[in-house]
Each structure stands twice: as C-alpha cells, then as structure tokens.
Structure 1
Amino acid sequence: MITVTNPPRFLINQTAFIGDVILATALLEQLHQARPDAILDVLVRKGNESLLANHPFVNEVLVWDKKKAKYSSLWQLLKTIRSRRYDVVLNLQRFGTTGLLTALSNAKVTIGFAKNPFARFFSYQVEHRIEPGIHEIHRNAELLKPLNLTGPVVKPKLYPSTADYNTVRPYQSMPYVCMAPTSVWFTKQYPAERWIDLMKALPRNLTIYLLGAPADAPACDAMIALAGRKGEVINLAGKLSLLQSAALQEGAVMNYVNDSAPLHLCSAMNAPTTAIFCSTVPEFGFGPLADRSRVVQTHEILDCKPCNLHGKSACPLGHFRCAWGISVSELASI
C-alpha cells in the first residue's frame, strides 16, 4: 500500500441517493478487512446519515446539506476535510462537486473515477465501466487497486440497532412479506394496479407490510383500499426508519421491491428479494445481492428497454410495456 500514516485515515465520498450509500458500505467492509486499523469517515448528503448509525467501522459521518445550504455547506465541508489531513480520499461519484472536494482535500492520495470532470487533479483515475457482469460494488472496489488493497469484494452491510429490532418485533409474530411499491422514477415503478393484483394473489396466511417514505403513505393507503384484504395489508410507509425497515425486511418470507433503495436494503441485510425491473435492467450493475434473490422483468423483447440508466418521469413511448408485461403470477410464486 502507498505509504500513509499509521493508522491511515480514509474519507469515502458518496453524496448520491440512499441506494448508492448502501452499496458503498461494501467498500467499508472491504477496507476494514484489508486494514482493520484504518479510520474510516464517510461523506453523505443530508438525510442519508441515519443509514450509517451504529456502523462499527465508521468513525465519523460528514453531512452535506445539498438542498438548503448547498454552497455554504460545501465551503464548511471543505474546511473540515482539509483540517482532518486525510491519507486517502476515495470519491465514488462522477459529478463535479465531490470531485472538486476531492481535488482540494489536501489528502496525500486522492482516487476517483476518470469520468469525473476534476479527475485530472486526482492522484489516480479509475475507469468507470457500465457493462454486463459488473455490479456497482465491483466498480467501487476498483478504487482500491491503486492502494494494492485487492482482497475479495464483499457485499454491502447495514447494522440496525437493538432498538431497531425491538421496534419491528411486534410485526413479526406471523409470517409476512414486505412490499415497497413506490419509486422516485415513474418508469422504475411497477404499476399500482399490478401491486394490488399481487396483494390479492399472495396466500392469505401472509401479512403484507407496505414500506416507503412518508410521502408514499397516501399511495399505499389507496392500494390497500382496493386490495380487499382488510387487516392483512398494513401501511408502514413513513412509520419506520431506514434501518428499522431493513430489520423488518430481514425477517420477511419475501420482499418485493422495484429497482430502488429498498432493493439495496435487502442486499445489505441478505434478505430474500424479488426485484422488479421495469424500464431499467440489472446489467447496469444494481441488481439484488442477497443469497436468495431473483429478478423479474418482462419476457417480451423491447427495443426501448432500457430507455435510461436512472428511469424517467413517464414512458417515452406511452405504452409502458416493460412494466405491464411483468406477470403477477410469476411474482406471486414465492
């Protein structure tokens, strides 16, 4: 490894969305295995810091308020980062702002993806490849190669607290499944009508818990009203924290998720996963990682699928066949 202080201090920059932070925890696991003495700090966007609560390998979580105080918060962050005198800064993003933070960090070694607009100022630039067979956790692991830390890539992992497990224990007295039916992106979301059909198709001995953010609660209520399973479908959207949701998913008979953050919660908890891919494809590198997991998508060959890496606010062609073509009966066969 490049000569650094003992113990070395790392900063991992990942200020993207919830799922990206969850997948970045695989890098924390790998770094800890390679250098158990390392001090590991993480930079995330405000709202995602709770994911790393209780994490045994994280020394400090730095928070960037990207919404309310984007630039003033960025300036304070830069001063904090420079004061820490990091040995290594790993930038997991390809966007300019974190690239600038990395380049100006005064760290002994800076590593990031070559696609970042400030990559020429990094100590090392790593190719970022989106192609079949390369999962995001493997892309991130490439950043460790300049440090000669090339051990086995491990799965992401989260650490709900005892209090988190105690919070969800009352929901676990009977067999249950979890569903996370919503998504920020319309084309990543299985249609509400089909979620309702899936609720109707599942065995009646299973309780169904709907998970999501507070803003998802009305949509979940609307689905429950049409499902015809009074008392058997419970809306927990907005009632559980991210780590509490992860703890509940861990004990589920099955978790039904879109290509979105709840999928990655399942991966981090090694929870059984049925991942529904509508407009996107798992070949982008964001598929499920749990030991018991499967991807379900339409069997129809569509020239328009995938239409976008991240999803769109509407189907560009208006038919949304990538979603409507997914069989409820295939999903219901747990």
Structure 2
Amino acid sequence: MKRILIIQTSTISNVVLTTPLIEKIAQHFPETKIDFLVNQGNQEILMGHPKLNQLYVWKRFTNKYKNLIRLILIFRKKNYDIVINTQRNFVSGLITVLSKGKILRGFSKNPFSIFFDKKVIYRINGSHETSRNLALINDLTDKKYVAPKLYPRSSDIAAIAKFQEFPYVCIAPISNWGTKQFPQVKWIELILSFNDNWIIYLLGSKDDYEECEEIRLHTERKNINNLAGKLSILASAALMAKAKMNYVNETAPLHLASALNAPINVVYCSTVPHFGFGPLSIHSKIIESELDLPCRPCGLHGKHECPLGHFDCAHSIDINKFDKP
C-alpha cells in the first residue's frame, strides 16, 4: 500500500478528531504516504505534521467549483490505494468517488456510500467521535484506541514562550454556536472566583477579540490578557498544554486540549456528552446543569440562541462545580 488519502473538509474540531487515523495508519504502515484534504482556513492545524506526506486545501471561498475540479484531477493522478472519507455530506462523497481510488471507505450515511467498498454505520450511541472515525480502518489495523494528536511547530513554541514565565490558566469563552457558549456573565463570575494573582489568558480567533475584551474589562483584573487572534491555532494549543487548567465550551479548544492531553474543564450548555464529542485528556471534567430540562439537548450542534428564550441549561450551572486553579 503506497498512498492513502483522508478527506475531512468540515470544521477544525472534526479535523482534530480525524488525526487518530493518521497515527494509526502511520503505525501500521510506516512506508505508506498519507495525504490529507482540509477545508480552506483549517490547514494550519496540520501544518508541519511529521506523519503527513501532502496537505491539500480546498479553496472554497474563491472559485469554489473550479478549485474542487482541480483537486479531483490531482487525486486521480495520484492513484490512491485507499481513500477514506470521514464525512457524511454530498461534496465529500463526490470527491471520494471521483478520486478513482482503488478502495473507497466511508460512513453509510454518505449519499455516495453505495459506491464505497467499505461502509461503516455512523451511530450516536455514546461512543466517541474518534472511535467512530477509527472504525473506518479497524479491519486494516487493529481495534486498539488511539487518541488525537497535534504537533505544534518550533515557531509556535517560540511564540508563546513569553507567556509562560509564571503559572497561568487559559479560557476560551466564545463559540460560533450561541447555545454552546457559556454566557459572558457566567465567565466573569468564574474569573472573579479565582485568586486574583492568577495570570489568565483569553484565547480565540480574531473574530472573538471584542467579546473577549468585554470579559477582560468587566472583570477589572490586571492579570487578564486577551490573546484572541494574536496566536496561531497551534500556538494556542501549545499554550493550553502547559496551563494549570483550561476552561472551554464544547467547541474546538476542547479538542485542541484533548490532542495535547491538556487539563480541562468543559462546559456543556445545550448539547450533551452522549453525542460523543467530550474531553479525552487524563485530567478533564465535564460541567453541566443539574436541572432535568426536557428541552436539552435542543440539537446536535446547538442553536444560535435558546429556542425557548430562557437558556436555563447555561444559567443554572453552578460556578462552584469548576476546578479552581
């Protein structure tokens, strides 16, 4: 087996949760060249990965279909022995089939799965997403579990060195999904429960900067630093790896922590751990409401705002449930 292509053009979270396939394939087939396709904007998370041969990026925000055709033509020339699709949508299935890989693998829920040589049933039954992904190659390798793993570059490590002179904690308070995001007032309450000597770093993308700044200003703490948009995603992950504790929503930073075994407290608002996207770090804790809410969960990914207007799944969470640094 000379070449394998892995397709994951969804979110950064999904890319991280697909990395166990890279580790497992490299372990069992060290001579095989592993290529990986990601969506535009997500390539940084795999930059410099020592076990990848080639990282392909689907530039879907400019000339979307032209770039899609270009990629498919490249893949056809590669003569992949196996193409593994970890998604369940139309476009990923189309890429898989048109790649002309010798063996096609993916989930049975993909609309093109009728053309797959190996189909795996995708079940939300409490198993972790990483285990569901690994099921795509269990028959090629073994059934042993492998955790997600990321590889921060030397430049990422150098970028955070100045922030690591003293003990610190990290907080990633923002989510693209409104009902996955712990309310600003609750983050502020949590921060104010910490000893005021702790150095706190607020993490996120450049789009998160303003909201993080509001939290920083409302706490009136001198040791809070807003780093949203100031670090690469791998640098942020490396910073989290050495933190005394990390506090996050059930979003991408959670999976960054898992991939580097960073200590973490993760807040579940409208979603639930049973969906299979929970923390994998040795030192991890799930924080969620103790109320028996008939409306929770309100969806697999949450919603932009609480459909019922009360957001009790978040506001009812007791701050004292968090591990203090």
The two structures have a TM-score, normalised by structure 1, of 0.95
1:315 to 296, 306, 312: 306
Kept after mapping to 2: 8 A contact 1:201/1:332: no
Which amino acid in the other structure matches residue 102 of structure 1?
T
Output aligned runs, 1:200-239, within 5 Å. 200-230=192-222, 232-239=223-230
What is the aligned partner in structure 1 of residue 295 from structure 2?
304
Structure 2 residue aligned with 1:137:
130
Corresponding residue for residue 64 of structure 2? 70
User: Partners in 1 of 2:246 and 2:63 — Cα distance?
Assistant: 36
Give CA deviations for 1:123-160 in whole Å, capped at 9, x if unaligned. Answer: 1211001112x100100011013x43224121101001
Partner of 1:269: 260
Whole-angstrom distance in 1 between the partners of 2:217 and 2:323: 20
Q: Could you tell me how far apart the structure 1 residues matched to 2:150 and 2:233 are?
A: 10
Q: Which residue of 1 aligns with 2:188?
A: 196
Superposed displacement of residue 210, structure 1: 0.2
How many pairs were matched up? 325
CA RMSD of aligned residues (A): 1.0
Cα distance in 2 between the residues matched to 1:159 and 1:126: 29
How far apart are the structure 2 equivalents of 1:280 and 1:66?
29
Q: Offset of 1:320 from its aligned partner?
A: 0.4
Provide the rounded CA distance (Å) in 1 between the counterparts of 2:210 and 2:257: 24
Does the 8 Å CA contact 1:24/1:140 hold for their aligned counterparts?
yes
Question: How far does the alpha carbon of each residue in 1:97-127 deviate from its partner, in whole angstroms, 9 at most, with x for none?
Answer: 0101101111110000000001001112110
Structure 1, unaligned runs of 5 or more: none
Q: Which runs of 5+ in 2 are unaligned?
A: none
Superposed displacement of residue 30, structure 1: 1.2
Once the two structures are TM-superposed, the CA of residue 37 in structure 1 deviates from its matched residue by 1.5
Q: State the distance in 1 between where 2:300 and 2:60 align.
A: 22
In 1, the alpha carbon distance for the partners of 2:112 and 2:179 equals 32
- For residue 189 of structure 1, report the CA deviation from its aligned partner: 0.1
Matched letter for residue 204 of structure 1: D
- The answer on whether the counterparts of 2:265 and 2:323 sit within 8 Å (CA) in structure 1 is no
Letter in 2 for 1:149: T
Contact kept, 8 Å, 1:175 with 1:205, in 2: the verdict is no
Structure 2 CA distance for aligned equivalents of residues 149 and 70 of structure 1: 35
| Letter in structure 2 aligned against 1:188 | K
Q: Is the 8 A contact 1:26 1:156 kept in 2?
A: yes
| Distance in 1, Cα, partners of 2:269 & 2:63 | 35
TM-score by length of 2: 0.98
Task: Judge conservation of contact 1:198–1:332 (CA < 8 Å) in 2.
Answer: no
